[in-house]
Amino acid sequence: MTTLAREDRATVAEGSGFSAKLRRNWAGYLFLAPWLIGFLCFTLGPVLVSLYLSFTKFDLLRPPQWIGTDNYVRMFTGDYRFFQALRVTFTYLLFEVPLKLAFALLIAVTLDKAVRGGGFYRALLYLPSLLGGSVAIAVLWRQLFDGNGAVNRIALELFGIQGPSWISNPDTAIYTLIILAIWQFGSPMVIFLAGLRQIPQDLYEAASIDGASRLRQFRKITLPLLAPVIFFNMVLQVIEGFKAFTPAFIISGGTGGPVDSTLFYTLYLYQEAFAYFRMGYASALAWVLLIVIAAFTAVSFVTSKYWVYYEDDQR
Amino acid sequence: MSSLTRRQFAGGCAALLAAPASLVTSRAALAQATRLRCFWWGNPERDKRTKTALDAYSQKAGTQIAAESLGWGDYWTKLGTQTAGGNAPDLIQMDYRYIFEYARRDTLLALEKVMPSPLNLKDFSEGARECGKVDGKLYGVTLGTNSKAMVYDTAMFEKVGVKALDPKWTWDDMARIAGEISKINPGKYWGSGDNSRWEQGFEHWLNQRGKLLYTPEGKAAFTRDDVTEWFSLWDKLRKSGAVAPAEVAATNTGGIDQYEISRGTAAMSFANSNQVVAFQNINKSKLAISVFPNEPGGSSGHYIKPAMMMSVSSRTKAPEEAAKVIEFLVNDPEGVKALGIERGVPGSSAAQALLAPDLDDLGKMQVEYVSAVSKVAIKLPPPPPKGAGEIEKLLLRVADTVAFGRASVKDGAQQFHSEAESILARA
C-alpha cells in the first residue's frame, strides 16, 4: 500500500499525463527505440509517402505533380492490363492455394504416421520451400517446361507424345508457375504436422473401437480439429499468393508474357514503376493491392465462423 | 617459454594498437584519391573488355574506378532510380534512345566544359561527334558506331546453296531461303526467327519505304495500314513455315542468348552489327552479318548510329577526372585496344587505324560492314520520344498475340496503333 501511495504522490509532483508516463517508462522506450525508429523511417514513412504519390504523376526525375484521383480513375476505367493482372493473379490463387494446402496436408498426414526417419523426410520435403523462391529454380523451371525441356522429353520417351512448349504457350504458362508454387509446400506442411500432433490420440482410439474407417476418422476427427490450422495456413497462403513475383519475373524475363498470360499483379506494378517510371500510378496499384488483400483476409475471417471450430468453443 | 614481463606486454599491446591505426591512415589516404563510378549495360565479353580498360587506367592515373554492369533492361531501371536519388554514377553509358531525356533534365554534363582538354575529339568524324549532341551541346562521346544487321549461320546457308549472300537480296529471297532451311529439320529448326515483334525491325521496314517510326515532334509517324502490312508480311512467313512459330519466338526475351540463332532454333536473327562478337561467342557454328532484306525500289533503310555513348553525370564531383577516363577509352592506344570493336566501330579515325591491323575475321567483317552500309545509309532518324520504350514492349505483346492467333492481323494492327498513340499522348 505504501508503494502505491508514494507513486501517487510522485505522479502529482511530476505532473500528470503523457510526459509523466514517459518519464516513468523511458527505459522501456529506449529499448524499443531501435525497432521504433526503423519502423517509422523504413516502413510507416514510405507507406505514407506512397499514399501521397498515388495521387500524383511522378517519373523519378521530375518532382511529383498532384493529379488528384486520376490514377485510380484510369485504373478502373481505361486500363485493360490492370484487369488482366487481376485475372492472372486470381487464377493463380484459385488453383495454387487449395492444391498446395491439400498436398501439404496429404504429406503431413503421411509423415505423421511414419515414425522411423520422420525427421529426415521432413527436412527433405521442406527443401523445395527453401529453394523454390530463388532465381536458380525459376531458371531451372524454364528449362524443364521448354519445348525441348525435360518434361517433354520424358513424355516423348514414355508415351510417345510431343508436348507443346509449356512455358511459352499462353494457355499453359500460368500452370507451370502454379506447379512451381505447389512444389513449395514445405511451410504449410510443417505447420500441419504441428497441428496433427495436437489432436488427442484417444479420439482415434475411440473411433476405431466404434469401427470407423481410416477415411471416416480423417473426415470426422482430423479435419474438424485441424480447421484452425487449415484456416491459418489458408490466410497465409492467400496473402503470399497475392505477392508472388520472382518466378513470373524470371520465367517471362520481366514481361509477364507470353501475351500477358503470366502478368501477376506485382509484376505489373513493377513494370509500371521501374520499366515505365510511373511511380504515381504504381503507388496507386500498390494501394489497391493492399485493399484487395485486406478485403480477402477480412472475408476469410468472417466466413471462418462457419467452418472453423476451436476446441474451447462453447458452441 | 619465458614469462611475459609487464613491459613486453605493454609493448606488444602498443604494436597491436598501432597496426590498425596505420591501416586506418592508409585508407584515409586512399579515400582522398579520386574515386569514380562507371556504369554500363553489357554482356560478359563487354564487361571483361571494359574492366581491363578501366584497370589499365587506374594503374596509370591512380584513380580508383568502381565498375558495374547490368543487362539492358535492368540497366535503365537502376540508372533511373539512382539518378532520381541523386546518386548517379560519374560515368554513364548512354544510348541514343535516352540521351535526350537525360540531357534535357540536366542530369548530364555538357562536355564543352572539359574540351579540348582533357577530352579531345579532333579525330572523330563529324557524324560520330554530332550524334552525341542535344540542343547544340555535346552530352555523350560515341564509343562505337553500328547499324542494324541480320546475323546468320553460314553453314546452314551453304546447305541450301547460298555461298555468299547478295547484299541486294529482297524479302522474297529471304522467304525462299528461310523456307528451304526450314525443310532441313522440320518442326525443330527454322529459317528465321520471328522479327514482327522487334520494334527496330519495324522501324527499319518503315525506313526502307521512306517513312519514319516517329516524327521529329515525337508523334507516331506510321499508320494503321503500315502495321497491318508489317504483321501480314510476317504472318505469311510464319504460316509458310519459313519463320519459327509463336511458341519459339515468345521465349526470346531480348538477351543475346535468347535469340533463335543462339538457341539453335533458326538460322537468321535480326540484331545490330556490333553484337556479332557476342553472338559468335556463344554460337558454335560460324556466323556472318548481312544487310536486312531489301524492298525492291526502296532505300536500304540502314543508318549508322552511335551504338553506345559515354556520358558524365552533371552531379559528379570530379568532371575533369571523368573526362580523362573517356579520353583514355576513345583516344589512348591502350584503352582503345582493350575495348576493341565490341561496342561497334570507333568514332575516331586514329582509333580505327590503330585497331585495323589486329582485327580478327569478325572484327574485319564488322568494320567492312559498317563502311559498306555507310555508303547506302539514310540520315539518322530523330530520337525516339518519351514512351518509346513502352511502345517497344507493346509491339512485343501485340505481335505475339497475332502470332498465337489470338487476334487477327487487322485487329492486332488496330490495337498496336491506337495504344501506341495513347502512350505517346500520356508520356
Report residue A83: phi and psi, to 5°: -70, -35
Of B182, B194, B177, the residue nearest B402 (C-alpha) = B194
Chain B contacts in chain A segment 35-64 (CB below 8 A):
60-62
Is residue A1 predicted with pLDDT exceeding 50? no
Q: Do A168 and B406 touch (CB under 8 A)?
A: no
Mean pLDDT of B120-149: 90
In this prediction, residue A2 carries a pLDDT of 46
In this prediction, residue B69 carries a pLDDT of 93
List the single range of A128-137, B75-84, B293-302, B356-365 with lowest mean pLDDT. A128-137
**Please, what is the average pLDDT of chain B?**
88
Report residue A246: phi and psi, to 5°: -50, -55
Mean pLDDT of B135-147: 93
With a CB cutoff of 8 Å and minimum separation 6, the contacts of A41 are none
CB of B325 within 8 A of CB of B57? yes
In this prediction, residue B72 carries a pLDDT of 81
CB of B152 within 8 A of CB of B279? no
In this prediction, residue A11 carries a pLDDT of 47
What span, in angstroms and rounded, lies between the C-alpha atoms of B351 and B361? 18
> In whole angstroms, what separates CA A219 from the centre of its chain?
27
In this prediction, residue B20 carries a pLDDT of 44
The predicted-structure confidence for A277-301, as pLDDT tens digits, reads as follows 899 999 999 999 999 999 999 999 9
Give the DSSP letter of residue B214.
B
Of B282, B338, B273, B335, the residue nearest B308 (C-alpha) = B273
A163 touches chain B (CB under 8 A): no
Q: Do B389 and A255 touch (CB under 8 A)?
A: no
Is residue A96 predicted with pLDDT exceeding 90? yes
* Separation in Å, CA B427 to CA B45, B127, B175, B396, B422: 35, 30, 38, 19, 9
Is residue A314 predicted with pLDDT exceeding 70? no
B80 touches chain A (CB under 8 A): yes
Nearest CB among A61, A62, A258 relative to B250 is that of A258
What span, in angstroms and rounded, lies between the C-alpha atoms of B164 and B175? 17
What span, in angstroms and rounded, lies between the C-alpha atoms of A93 and A73? 26
A167 touches chain B (CB under 8 A): yes
What span, in angstroms and rounded, lies between the C-alpha atoms of A259 and A255? 9
What span, in angstroms and rounded, lies between the C-alpha atoms of A150 and A159? 14
Q: Do B84 and A257 touch (CB under 8 A)?
A: no
Confidence tier at B24 by pLDDT (50, 70, 90): very low
The predicted-structure confidence for A160-208, as pLDDT tens digits, reads as follows 777 777 888 888 889 999 998 898 888 899 999 999 988 888 998 999 8
> Cβ contacts (< 8 Å) between A169 and chain B: which residues?
247, 250, 404
Residue B277, phi-psi category: left (phi > 0), alpha (psi -120 to 50), beta (remainder): alpha
In the block, which residue shows the cell 476505367? A77
Nearest CB among B80, B253, B258 relative to A277 is that of B80
The predicted-structure confidence for A70-80, as pLDDT tens digits, reads as follows 999 999 998 99
Mean pLDDT of A298-312: 84
In this prediction, residue B6 carries a pLDDT of 52
* Domain residue ranges in chain A: 16-71, 76-307
The helix (run of H) or strand (run of E) holding residue B45 is helix B44-61
- DSSP class per residue in B89-147: -SEEEE-HHHHHHHHHTT-B--GGGGTTTT---TTB-HHHHHTTEETTEE--EEEEEE-
> Cβ contacts (< 8 Å) between B404 and chain A: which residues?
169-170, 258-259
CB of B194 within 8 A of CB of B250? no
CB of B233 within 8 A of CB of B305? no
The span from the first CA to the last CA of chain A, in angstroms, equals 43
Nearest CB among A164, A168, A255 relative to B396 is that of A255
List the single range of A158-167, B141-150, B208-217 with lowest mean pLDDT. A158-167
Which candidate in B76, B97, B248, B253 is best for mutational testing of the A interface (most A CBs within 10 A)?
B253
What span, in angstroms and rounded, lies between the C-alpha atoms of A198 and A310? 12
Q: Do A253 and B83 touch (CB under 8 A)?
A: no
CATH of domain A76-307: 1.10.3720.10
pLDDT over 90 percentage in chain A: 43
For B107, nearest residue in chain A (alpha carbons)? A61
In this prediction, residue A255 carries a pLDDT of 83
The predicted-structure confidence for A221-250, as pLDDT tens digits, reads as follows 899 999 999 999 999 999 999 988 888 888
What span, in angstroms and rounded, lies between the C-alpha atoms of B242 and B349? 41
The burial of B410, by beta-carbon neighbours within 10 Å (0-12 exposed, 13-18 middle, 19 or more buried), is given as: middle
- DSSP class per residue in B326-349: HHHHHTSHHHHHHHTTTTSB-SBH
Is residue B394 predicted with pLDDT exceeding 50? yes
> Cβ contacts (< 8 Å) between A277 and chain B: which residues?
80
The predicted-structure confidence for A26-38, as pLDDT tens digits, reads as follows 888 899 999 999 9
In this prediction, residue A296 carries a pLDDT of 92
What angle, rounded to 10 degrees, do the helices at B171-182 and B224-239 form? 30
Chain B closest-CA separation from residue A260 CA (Å): 7
CB of A251 within 8 A of CB of A170? no
Residue B41, phi-psi category: left (phi > 0), alpha (psi -120 to 50), beta (remainder): beta
Nearest CB among B81, B253, B254 relative to A60 is that of B81
Mean pLDDT of B169-193: 94
In this prediction, residue A198 carries a pLDDT of 87
CB of A228 within 8 A of CB of A310? yes
Nearest CB among A165, A254, A274 relative to B247 is that of A165
The helix (run of H) or strand (run of E) holding residue B37 is strand B35-41
Is residue B10 predicted with pLDDT exceeding 90? no
In this prediction, residue B8 carries a pLDDT of 53
The predicted-structure confidence for A97-108, as pLDDT tens digits, reads as follows 999 999 999 999
How many residues make up chain A in this entry? 315
CB atoms closer than 10 angstroms to residue B257? 14
CB of B94 within 8 A of CB of B372? no
CATH numbers and ranges of domains, chain B: 34-146+306-374 (3.40.190.10), 157-302+386-426 (3.40.190.10)
Beta pairing, strands B148-153 & B266-272: antiparallel
Which is more confidently placed, A149 or B308?
B308
pLDDT over 70 percentage in chain B: 92
